[in-house]
Structure 1
């Protein structure tokens, strides 16, 4: 069958579209393949943080709606660790820490302390875009094992200030003092660095290729 100029144009357009789709697919594939091991681990860490945050926020909002801020204290004490444990799988460990902890079990280690101090400096500078989280990631050697470490700052939001601000309800304050005698996680203001998510994972990278850290 002889193709008319109109048919030829249609065929060419179809071929061009197919070629563009192939190129786009190859571009996406190349981009995926170009991700470094560190970037892949960062994505995995952020996914676990997102799942933890969504689950905890839902539990807190439900508890507050049902019985006020007093209910939120028990959620943070018992439910939050359980949610963290659910997201500590496939070799990952997820915790939260701060320069001013409520529970002494969450006291930062040396690496976490260093990152938290740096987070404070970055936040105080006012140069970090509001839509860009403050993060840190690094491969370290810990007790002869290569680990990937990742931290993401937790800015104090309005929901946090009911239990972590400077104007806590007396009933809530009394329960916090009873539950956490050494509580230091108060007097935060909106936008302060409340703390950070901290994740780590042992990896197979040869220890010789990673700088040892304290």
Structure 2
């Protein structure tokens, strides 16, 4: 059964109906940055704060997704692109459900981040570049991955043996060498509150 035989099956409940029911709009906040920059840490705290404010939020984390949905993928450029393609499609579904979705993936390639923005729609996609120098990320090294990558134990590691393309026009820049987690959450919330 080929792709040409597939037809989207439309239901009787629209996006607007779901938004009205849960009293919010679907939005995807896409955190990108090097490993150790603080993406997941900030996303966890933002999820907690938005939930406290009565919002329906779900966090999609790179490592968590690679343990399940993308467990069959490696770290080649093709596999990284497929990883982002899959998570983009999951985020599209969550957004259509009216859920505020926090996506924290390194997402190293500008092209794939733009694919995500196009697929989700510019009004439903907020790119947050979580900025930290390579030295800061190596010092933090929460998973011990940089040490292994520098020693050659890990191939295709972003920032060491694989490229990270800094976002050209992110919606928000969070420099975690200058801002606390609390300040970062406040900045993001102030930027998104009118859209949720």
TM-score, length of structure 1 as denominator length:
0.30
Structure showing greater Rg? 1
1 or 2 for the larger relative contact order (CA 8 Å, sep ≥6)? 2
Structure with the higher helix share, 1 or 2: 1
